[in-house]
Amino acid sequence: MATVDVVTVRRSVVYFAVTLLFVTVSCVSVTRDPPYETRYFHQYLDHFNFASRGAGTFKERVLVSDAFWRSGGPIFFYTGNEGPITRLWNEIGFMKDLAEQFEALIVFAEHRYYGESLPFGENTISQENMGLLTVEQALADYAVLITNLTVSYCQDPDVCPVIAFGGSYGGVLSTFLRLKYPNLVAGALASSANVYMSAGLTPGNQLFQDVTEDFRRYNPRCPDRVREGFAEMERLAGQGEQGLHEISTRMKLCSSLQDHADLVNMYRWVREAFTVLAMEDLPYAISNGPFLPAYPVNASCNLLLKATDGIEEILQAVGMLYNFTSNLSCFDLHEDFVPCADPTGCSLMPGAKAWDYQTCTEISLLESTDNVTDMFPPDAFTEETRAAHCRERWGVTPRPGWLATQFWGKDLKASSNIIFSNGDLDPWRRGGVLQNVSSSIVALEIQGGAHIMDLRAPNATDPLSVIRVRQQEAHLIGQWISEATNQKEASGNG
């Protein structure tokens, strides 16, 4: 098991003095500033079971950059979420700026079951192999990795404070890492972390209401027109097969909707598009993940208002996301739409199936629509509909109360040093922590801000609010680092 293969090495190789895990430095990728190395850490398949299968290992991909690092400086650790870590590396620009400021080592750890970190190789995403995909296992991967990193990079393993960073589900993970492993991370910046929603502690009728509100805020006629579009589809669907065929043609679907279930899936696929437009409502275009223009809510609303009829309106908005390059002649719904237990959709996700499994087990995202407080067709996503999908798809039954029991529900006061940042345009924000919990667990609002906006690289078009929030974050992180360093010096460790 103890192998250190050096395939390609950029600058001097730091050998990891590992006791439990064994590092394979197997390839080096160099992207834009700063460059990083790709490393692979051996992790136990099951941190909570020493017997039989649990004692096997797999390789976790980790991106490491010491471009800014000063020996003894802090370690900035991104708790990878649902997707390839390389994509997240490109999305999280602010952390690199901060690393330069604080002379920090940058580490991006990939979440098990995503990207290249597949515990069972090509057979990972299958019903019989999904059981070891849990929040606890992922956090344990990070905890073991951090323990080994501090041993490797710091003469005294207690000397380098580690700060956790994460956005969206990654922000949930960085929060939980701070709650459960304050011995390892001195603080966490959790951007757009829907910790309360994930634990099933929010009402379940807010997210799509807030998507609607984003469009209404730009132009109140927009949500009205979207409602009209859906109403027209409903009217046609009431005519049976011919009506479904007409909807399909006008929505440019490659094959015709066959029945009500198909129609519901299409509605959800449309709703997913509006949700992404709302959460990614940035003042600049993005091309990592979805391709979107600047201010996509405004842009799609403008298109929508120019359309000739209700269905054309919806098509315009959907096309902005799903056919950004205008290359598609039709939409292949059977190919593009991924049914999943996340009602905001999994269609655009490289890790859609693994995420579906997570939302079928620990992560609760029970958001519904009613066409009254939101602009979408009524679609109740209840614990029962969730469980039915999950049993059929994965053979598992959710345990609704578990995440709140395990990760403290809404009772976070015993922790400290967490920043919860949220943009007020982000429909996910009401799933998170919007008020200070204590003097060191603080909520920061980015006015005019979208999903994980603060973690993105600074942009010339950034509103003043996000610039100020980033300054506050830098200030607080600086405090955490000073405190941790002083404590260690006081205790004779540093």
Interaction of residue 490 with a second copy, rule CB under 8 A = no
Cα dihedral 261/262/264/267 (nearest 10): 180
Verify binding: residue 131, a second copy, rule CB under 8 A.
yes
Q: Distance between CA 174 and CA 415 in Å, rounded?
A: 13
- Tokens 């090509």 — which residue? 122
Task: Identify which of residues 140 and 292 has a Cβ nearer to a second copy in the complex.
Answer: 140
- Summary count for the chain: helices (H), strands (E): 16, 9
36 forms part of the interface with a second copy (CB under 8 A): no
426 a catalytic residue: yes
Rounded Cα distance, 145 and 137, in Å = 12
Rg, Å, the chain Cα set: 23
Is 139 or 251 the residue whose CB approaches a second copy more closely?
139
485: helix, strand or coil: helix
| CB 233 to a second copy: min, Å | 37
From the CB of 354, what's the least distance to a second copy, in Å? Answer: 13
Is residue 141 a contact point for a second copy (CB under 8 A)?
no
Catalytic residue of the set 111, 451, 454, 465: 451
Neighbours of 32 (CB within 10 A): 10
Active site residue 300: no
Stretch that binds a second copy, among 51-59, 236-244, 302-310, 325-333 (CB under 8 A): 51-59
Spatial distance between the Cα atoms of 16 and 149, rounded to a whole number of angstroms: 7
Distance CA(118)–CA(122), nearest Å, equals 7
Q: Which of 117, 168, 368, 415 is catalytic?
A: 168
Task: Say whether residue 55 binds a second copy (CB under 8 A).
Answer: yes
Using alpha carbons only, give the angle 335, 337, 342 rounded to the nearest 5 degrees.
145
- Spot the catalytic one: 210, 214, 262, 426: 426
Applying CB under 8 A, does 182 fall inside the site for a second copy?
yes
385-424 positions binding a second copy, by CB under 8 A: 394-402, 405-406, 408-409, 411-416
User: What are the helix (H) ranges across 121-240?
Assistant: 135-153, 169-180, 195-198, 207-218, 221-237
Is 438 an annotated catalytic residue? no
The nearer residue to a second copy, 184 or 450, going by C-beta atoms, is 184
When the beta carbons of 145 and 375 are compared against a second copy, the nearer one is: 145
Among the listed ranges 77-85, 204-212, 220-228, 359-367, the one in contact with a second copy (CB under 8 A) is 359-367
Q: Is 318 in the site for a second copy (CB under 8 A)?
A: no
- Which residue do the tokens 């950004």 mark? 324
Catalytic residues: 168, 426, 451
